[in-house]
Structure 1
Amino acid sequence: MRAVLREWQWQRQRSSLAALKLLVLDVDGVLTDGGLWFDPEGVLQKRFDVRDGLGLRLLQQSGLQLAFLSGGRGGATEVRARQLGIEHCLVGIKDKPVALEALQRHLQVSPASTAFVGDDLNDLAVRAQVRLLLAPADACRPLRRQADAVLRRRGGHGAVRELAERILQARGDWQTLRRQGWRDRND
Structure 2
Amino acid sequence: MRRLLREWRWQRLTTSLTQVELLVLDVDGVLTDGGLWLDQEGRLQKRFDVRDGLGLKLLQKSGLHLAFLSGGHGGATDVRARQLGIEHCLVGIKDKPPALRALQEHVGITAQRTAYLGDDLNDLAVRSCVGLLLSPRDGARPLRRQANAVLHHRGGHGAVRELAERILKARGDWGELAQQGWRDRND
Q: TM-score, normalised by structure 1?
A: 0.99
Match of 2:124 in 1: 124
Mapped partners of 2:74, 2:53: distance in 1: 19
Cα offset for 1:74? 4.1
Return structure 1 stretches of 4+ with deviation > 4 angstroms: none
Supply the distance in 1 between the matched residues of 2:56 and 2:86 (Cα, whole angstroms).
9
- In the alignment, what sits opposite 1:101? 101
CA distance in 2, matches of 1:83, 1:120: 25
CA RMSD of aligned residues (A): 0.7
> Matches of 1:87 and 1:167 in 2, distance apart?
20
2:50 maps to what in 1? Answer: 50
Residue 64 (str. 1) matches residue 75 (str. 2): no
Unaligned segments of structure 2, at least 5 residues: none
Contact kept, 8 Å, 1:67 with 1:86, in 2: the verdict is yes
Name the SS for the 1:89 alignment partner.
strand
CA distance in 2, matches of 1:94, 1:186: 37
Alpha-carbon separation, structure 2, partners of 1:138 and 1:76? 22
| Match of residue 32 from structure 2 | 32
Q: CA deviation at 1:17?
A: 0.4
Conserved? CA contact 1:26–1:70, under 8 Å: yes
* TM-score (normalised: structure 2): 0.99
Q: Distance in 2 between matches of 1:66 and 1:16?
A: 17
Whole-Å Cα distance in 2 between the matches of residues 100 and 74 of structure 1?
A: 17
- The offset of 1:127, in angstroms, is 0.2
Q: Distance in 2 between matches of 1:166 and 1:139?
A: 18
Letter in 2 for 1:77: T
Instruction: Give the corresponding residue for 1:80.
Output: 80
Question: Secondary structure in 2 aligned to 1:17?
Answer: helix
Paired residue for 2:148?
148
2-side partners of 1:131 and 1:83: how far apart? 28
Determine the structure 2 residue equivalent to 1:23. 23
AA in 2 matched with 1:150: V
Percentage identity across paired residues of the two chains: 76
Correspondence for 2:183: 183
What residue identity is the alignment partner of 2:164? Answer: A
- The residue number in structure 2 matching 1:14 is 14
How far does residue 186 in structure 1 lie from its aligned partner after superposition?
Answer: 3.4
Structure 2 residue identity aligned to 1:16: S
* Structure 1: runs of 5+ lacking an equivalent: none
Matched, 1:114 2:90: no
Contact 1:43 1:74 in 2 (8 A): no
CA distance in 2, matches of 1:74, 1:89: 9
2:138 maps to a residue whose letter is D
**Partner letter of residue 116 of structure 2?**
F
